[in-house]
Structure 1
Amino acid sequence: MAGLSEIARVSGVSVSTVSRVLNRRAGVNEETRQRVLAALTEMPHTARGMGALRRTGVIGLLVPELSNPVFPAFAEALETRASRSGYASLLCNTTAAMTEEEYVRMLLARGVEGMVFVSPEVANVEPAGEHPPPASGYYDRLLADGVQMVFVNGGAPSLEVPDVAVDEQLAGYTATRHLLELGHRRIGFVCGPAHSLPSRLKKAGWAAALEEFGCAPAASLVAHAPFGPAGGTEAMGRLLDTAGPTAVICSSDHMALGAMREVHSRGLSVPSDISVVGFDDIPLASYCSPALTTLAQPIEEMARAAIDELLQRLAPDQPDRASETYSRVFRPSLVVRESTAAPRS
């Protein structure tokens, strides 16, 4: 069965022209339209392509996990925005029973018109020279078949996919600067996996703030661990054993909760002995003890931007935008609570 790219090749037109014909969009002359239709008759396109282009009123939402409250929050905001525009949503947890790619195939087989990926796999690529990147060529195949997608917090320069993201580097910088302004100079980073793009960007912001204040961003002050409370506990333990920070920033609130638990388990106090800053501003951040200082993502605004961009690209009366790049970066906001204070004299 031929895909849209094969039909375009046989017809002598672009993939976007095939998409216009299938969606009955204007801007295609009758001769070209008939040539594409003839190719479609001779070589029916794949269920994947048909699923992506059929008008079903359904979109797919793919999130990496549901245990971290920030991802259900994104899913709810995305679903709410889509519903207000007349679209139903299918939610997929890509760390559950199926992989991201398997869910993509399932969604297309069920006729979704487009997809929103929150923290897609493409954002988790090992730095050059460490390990080979994961197999993610299916993104290119989806693009070649005219599938409409938007990435949230995981844009890839190598892919022409619209992306909406919080400024991760600014988050790392803002969290670190907050601690520096309180008087801390030995600031550690309870960091997520080294292959995670958000972790790398936050680390760059952490280093920039330290350098701005004349402090060395030493490698010994960074401890990588899996995302989640257990990872935060593990990374915080290593920093306390080897680096002796007076404060730490964390890749997520979940990691920050684990970090604070490790501090307390050693008979130390937050923030009297060690200040802690998280990221995400999950609901529990304001109810834990002490309440967590964190960086909040503008989830509602990001979800609105992602859904609106996807639906504009799906609208049959809109000009084709397949070749246009779209990227929006949102500023995180510092929420100061009880887990940060000036260091002891």
Structure 2
Amino acid sequence: MANMKDVAQAAGVSLITVSRVINSPEIVSEGTRLKVEKAMEELDFMPNFAAKALAQNNTRTIYLYVPKNIGISDPFIMHLISGVAEELSNANYLFLVKRDLEFNHRCDGVIVMGLDLSEENVFTSKIKVPFVLFGKNELDIDCVDVDNEAGAVKMTDNIIASGHRRIGFIMRNTSQRYALERLQGYKKSLEKHSIPFDESLVRYAENSEQEGYANAYDLLVKEKPTAIFCCVDLLAIGAFRAAEKLKLKIPGDVSVAGFDGLIFDLIPKVPLTTVRQPVYETGRALARRLLQRLKNPGLPFEKKYLEPELKWRESVGRHRE
């Protein structure tokens, strides 16, 4: 059976270099890393991560906490998990999805998502290992998030630039920060353009197509906005159906926009203008930051916000007087 010394000899590198390729591949040049990996494959050499973990008193396992009220099949979660898995697998870590706050088995660290404002302090007191949070917060902890407020400002700015001033907003009925930040971005853009905020143009909905339909229908009948900006794309799909029911053309009679850009924006006949969240990239950034924290517990805490991308399509048009 081949050992590290055999690999070093076959690759023409030092034993230390082989160790670095196994334990910290990111600090090894690509050419050297590929040469060592090729030698490992040819010699059928398998690093003994279990023995290493036992010697270092770690598990090489990361928990990903996803609350029970968020479905694992949700496109957002699937994209996030893909990013987390990519980064952790590159570092030879396993991960387990946890649906509760009880940590009965050992792990090296935790990636936390889906907390509402009331849960943040409770959760942080329960975790005894390094962790990183998906979402903004005021606590002294590592966090990564999409800049939801900036995305909503960008969308509302562009809707206003298309001549709309009576813009409805369908808000998710939740206390999670991302939704509140999107509403705040909508308000901030209105203020920037000297358009008074009108509470009658806002509706609060659960996250479903049916709720988007009911609230958009009510908004269109009672308030007659020229454009509707939905907090999430799924609500916008319902708004499309409400416009069709009322025989309103999109974007001729009413413009519709969403936020997420994961899969629902591709469903309507008229392509949906939306704000695309870099969810896969966020998953990678969460895992990367946790791995950095595990290697260097004394690092200063970091708050990283990824910029979302405006996807301007045919569902928003110029307002006709």
Q: TM-score, normalised by structure 1?
A: 0.71
The whole-number CA distance in structure 1 between the counterparts of 2:182 and 2:236 is: 14
1:262 aligns to what?
A: 242
* Change over 3 Å in CA distance of 1:342–1:68 after alignment to 2: farther
* Change over 3 Å in CA distance of 1:59–1:134 after alignment to 2: closer
Q: Measure how far apart 1:304 and its partner are.
A: 2.2
Let me know the Cα RMSD of the aligned residues: 2.0
* Change over 3 Å in CA distance of 1:54–1:223 after alignment to 2: farther
The whole-number CA distance in structure 1 between the counterparts of 2:203 and 2:126 is: 37
CA contact (8 A) 1:155 1:161 kept: no
* Change over 3 Å in CA distance of 1:137–1:287 after alignment to 2: closer
Per-residue CA distance 1:197-237 (angstroms, 9 max, x = gap): 22221111111211222211111111111123233223212
CA contact (8 A) 1:190 1:235 kept: yes
Letter in 1 for 2:79: A
2:204 aligns to what?
A: 224
Q: Measure how far apart 1:136 and its partner are.
A: 5.3
2:226 aligns to what?
A: 246
Q: Is it true that 1:197 corresponds to 2:203 in the alignment?
A: no
The whole-number CA distance in structure 2 between the counterparts of 1:134 and 1:308 is: 24
The whole-number CA distance in structure 2 between the counterparts of 1:163 and 1:55 is: 23
The whole-number CA distance in structure 1 between the counterparts of 2:302 and 2:75 is: 27
* Change over 3 Å in CA distance of 1:88–1:285 after alignment to 2: same
Q: Measure how far apart 1:165 and its partner are.
A: 0.8
The whole-number CA distance in structure 2 between the counterparts of 1:62 and 1:235 is: 32
Q: How does 1:1-345 map to 2 (within 5 A)?
A: 54-63=57-66, 64-92=70-98, 94=99, 103-105=100-102, 108-118=103-113, 120-121=114-115, 124-125=116-117, 133=118, 137-142=122-127, 145=128, 147-152=129-134, 154-157=135-138, 159-193=139-173, 195-315=175-295, 318-321=296-299, 324-345=300-321
Equivalent pairs counted in the alignment come to 263
Q: Structure 2: where are the runs of 5+ without partners? A: 1-55
Amino-acid identity (%): 27
Letter in 1 for 2:317: A
The whole-number CA distance in structure 1 between the counterparts of 2:186 and 2:222 is: 19
The whole-number CA distance in structure 2 between the counterparts of 1:54 and 1:278 is: 47
Letter in 2 for 1:141: K
The whole-number CA distance in structure 2 between the counterparts of 1:160 and 1:285 is: 36
Q: Measure how far apart 1:74 and its partner are.
A: 0.8
* Change over 3 Å in CA distance of 1:202–1:135 after alignment to 2: closer
SS at structure 1 position matched to 2:101: helix
Q: Measure how far apart 1:288 and its partner are.
A: 2.5
> Deviation above 4 Å: which 4+ runs of structure 1?
none
* Change over 3 Å in CA distance of 1:222–1:314 after alignment to 2: same
CA contact (8 A) 2:86 2:284 kept: no
Q: Measure how far apart 1:67 and its partner are.
A: 4.5
The whole-number CA distance in structure 1 between the counterparts of 2:156 and 2:264 is: 22
SS at structure 1 position matched to 2:125: helix
SS at structure 1 position matched to 2:235: helix
Q: Measure how far apart 1:54 and its partner are.
A: 4.9
SS at structure 1 position matched to 2:251: coil
The whole-number CA distance in structure 2 between the counterparts of 1:312 and 1:135 is: 22
CA contact (8 A) 1:169 1:204 kept: yes
* Change over 3 Å in CA distance of 1:270–1:194 after alignment to 2: same
* Change over 3 Å in CA distance of 1:160–1:319 after alignment to 2: closer
SS at structure 1 position matched to 2:153: helix
SS at structure 1 position matched to 2:154: helix
Letter in 2 for 1:139: T
CA contact (8 A) 2:101 2:123 kept: no
Q: Measure how far apart 1:287 and its partner are.
A: 4.2
The whole-number CA distance in structure 1 between the counterparts of 2:220 and 2:315 is: 17
Letter in 2 for 1:253: D
The whole-number CA distance in structure 1 between the counterparts of 2:274 and 2:96 is: 31
Q: Structure 1: where are the runs of 5+ without partners? A: 1-52, 95-102, 126-132
The whole-number CA distance in structure 1 between the counterparts of 2:205 and 2:72 is: 19
The whole-number CA distance in structure 1 between the counterparts of 2:223 and 2:65 is: 38
Q: Which has the larger radius of gyration?
A: 2
CA contact (8 A) 1:190 1:232 kept: yes
Per-residue CA distance 1:37-59 (angstroms, 9 max, x = gap): xxxxxxxxxxxxxxxx9511111
Letter in 1 for 2:290: L
